[in-house]
Amino acid sequence: MEFKRQSADIILNRADMLNIEQFALHIGAARVEVRRRTKRREFISIEGSYFGARFPTWQVNEIGEPFNGIRDLYQRFMGDAWKVYDFLTEPNPRYQNYVPLELLQTGKLDQLLSLADASPPEPRRKG
């Protein structure tokens, strides 16, 4: 359990993981808009034991819009943001050990969702 917490805290403390104020500035939106869109599962927002919500910078394009597919991934991973994050950022053997994030960022939604459907559910990471 300590290892998972430590690894979650390391992830949440990375430079590409922004708090809500930083993320709102990054995408050019108000915090209230970020909260609203997060509730609609348009953004990946993950929590840890010592940090507030963190938003990966890589989930939006150059104009601050989320890539298509995030909401679909939430549905496939039962609303668990950590599972979505892990799926997108860990090398996948069904994808020649590339990370599925590349599919999300290049708009290959059908391939991304097929890969998500074929991926066995992982144990939930605790923050």
Encode pLDDT of 77-125 as tens digits: 999 999 999 999 999 998 998 999 999 999 999 999 999 999 866 655 5
CATH number at 42 reads: 1.10.10
* Cross-strand partners of 53: none
The residues, any chain, with a CB within 8 Å of residue 17's CB and separated by 6 or more, are 11, 46, 54, 55, 56, 57
Domain final residue pick, 46, 66, 86:
66
Domain span including residue 30: 1-66
Considering the domain architecture, whether residues 57 and 77 belong to the same structural domain is answered as no
Q: What is the pLDDT of residues 11-45, one digit of tens each?
A: 888 999 999 999 999 999 999 999 999 999 999 99
18, 55 Cβ separation under 8 angstroms:
yes
Top pLDDT among 122 and 8 is at 8
- Report the domain count for the chain: 2
DSSP character for 61?
-
Can you give the pTM of this predicted structure?
Answer: 0.87
| Cβ neighbours, 10 Å, residue 10 | 10
Considering the domain architecture, whether residues 54 and 17 belong to the same structural domain is answered as yes
Considering the domain architecture, whether residues 62 and 75 belong to the same structural domain is answered as no
